[in-house]
Every structure is written in structure tokens, then in C-alpha cells.
Amino acid sequence: MSFLRDLLTVLFLLVGAGFFTAGTIGLIRFPDVRSRLHALTKADGLGLGFIVFGVVLQAPSAAVGALAVFAWVATLAAASASARVIASRAAHREPGPRRHQRREAVPDVDG
């Protein structure tokens, strides 16, 4: 049973590291602040979740595991709140797509 638990722990840690890597690539590659925040908060939340579950499997007691899960939930809340603040500040500084722009009329072409 210990081998299976160790194997699952390594698997969770590797998947979590993969999500962190994907979030970092998104942070570097995406063009605007909103896209970068989306990639970073989603990937980091999932990556940290997988890492926490890998740690919970190796926790010496249920209290330590519960504390790790609580830290993950608190991090998710803080990440979403800070991403909201950063996105609202970026909306005032960076021009984004306009939803209510009128399209130019396309002239009719008679054949």
C-alpha cells in the first residue's frame, strides 16, 4: 500500500508541476493582461490543488492534511480576488475590445 501511495504522490506532484509550467507559458505568451491573468489563475489553482493532494497523501495526520486543503482554498480565494483587482485596473489603462461598436455599413454591390 505504501508503494501505491508513493506512486500517486509522485503522479499528483508531476501533474501539479505541469499545470504550473502551463500557467507560466501562458503568462509569457498571451498578449494582454486579461488573458495572462486567466491562464495564470486557472493553471496555478489546479497545479496547487494537485500538489496539495499529493502532500495530503503523505500527511502524518488528518489535521495536517486538512490544514493543507485549507491553505489551498485560501490561496484560491486570494488569487481570484487579486486577479479581479488587477483586471479592473488594467481595464482602465489598456484598451480592450468594445462590445457596442457599430459596424460600418457594407455597401450593396449590384452585379
**What is the distance between the alpha carbons of residues 39 and 69, in angstroms, rounded to a whole number?**
22
Q: How many CB atoms lie within 10 A of CB 34?
A: 17
**What is the distance between the alpha carbons of residues 65 and 79, in angstroms, rounded to a whole number?**
21
Using a pLDDT cut of 90, give the percent of the chain over it.
44
Average pLDDT taken over every residue of the chain: 84
According to the model, what pLDDT value does residue 7 have?
95
Burial (Cβ within 10 Å: 0-12, 13-18, ≥19) of residue 54? buried
**Which tens digit of pLDDT belongs to each residue from 68-101?**
999 999 999 998 888 888 888 877 776 655 555 5
* Sign of torsion over alpha carbons 96, 100, 104, 108: positive
